[in-house]
Amino acid sequence: MLDKLSNNNLFLIRHGQSIYNLENRFTGWKDVELTDLGIAQATEAGEILSKITFDQCYTSNLKRAQNTLNLILEKMNQNPKIIKDEALNERDYGDLIGQNKLEAAEKFGSEQVQIWRRSFDVPPPGGESLKMTAERTLPYYNQVIKPQVNAGKNIIISAHGNSIRAIVMEIFNLNPEQILKTEIGWCEPWIISFDNHGKLSNHQIIKRPSEPSKSHLFLD
């Protein structure tokens, strides 16, 4: 199916598993490395996308997303221009960064932590809500990235669960309830195609063979 793609495609990739993911810690803007599994996940994504040619690449200022992109491009034997911007950074978890999620639930109460994690507009102390993340990410997407796709280019964004959620929410016109039920799996390529007028024409989520898919687009 990837062989049939033309241009005007946006590829969304969440970074591979990080050390803090493995340790079940809030990560946010903490600049942590990929685990060995995360490296393998990124390499596998590169194998899946090997027949695609990217015109330009975008990533965050955090090395787990940057390294994921580099591993993908290395596997594809490509060297397109890479643009980094903190607008694509993960949601800032503020005072929760570095805390184990189970320990945070014991400290603050599981219900409160769940609100901080999964509500649309309630930020954790000193951090961002998903709404605030979208307000940071979407102007950059609409002003910088989307025009490149509309110009007929194949563009890849290697970023994070919540910055990608913000973009998905915009593209599919999702409401807060729908986007909160949408999951973005590690290194599972989301391929979103547009027609020559910039209108959404197709989408697919590619499962990596080595692991069960954790991605889900909630449209109901």
90 catalytic? Reply is yes
23 catalytic? Reply is no
Residue 111 has a CB neighbour count (10 Å cut-off) of: 8
Point out the catalytic residue in the list 90, 128, 160, 188: 90
The burial class, CB within 10 Å (0-12 / 13-18 / 19+), for 187 is buried
Query: CA gyration radius for the chain?
Result: 17
Three-class secondary structure assignment of 100-130: EHHHHHHHHCHHHHHHHHHCCCCCCCCCCCH
| Alpha-carbon distances, residue 44 vs 4, 8, 53 (angstroms) | 20, 24, 16
Catalytic residues: 15, 90
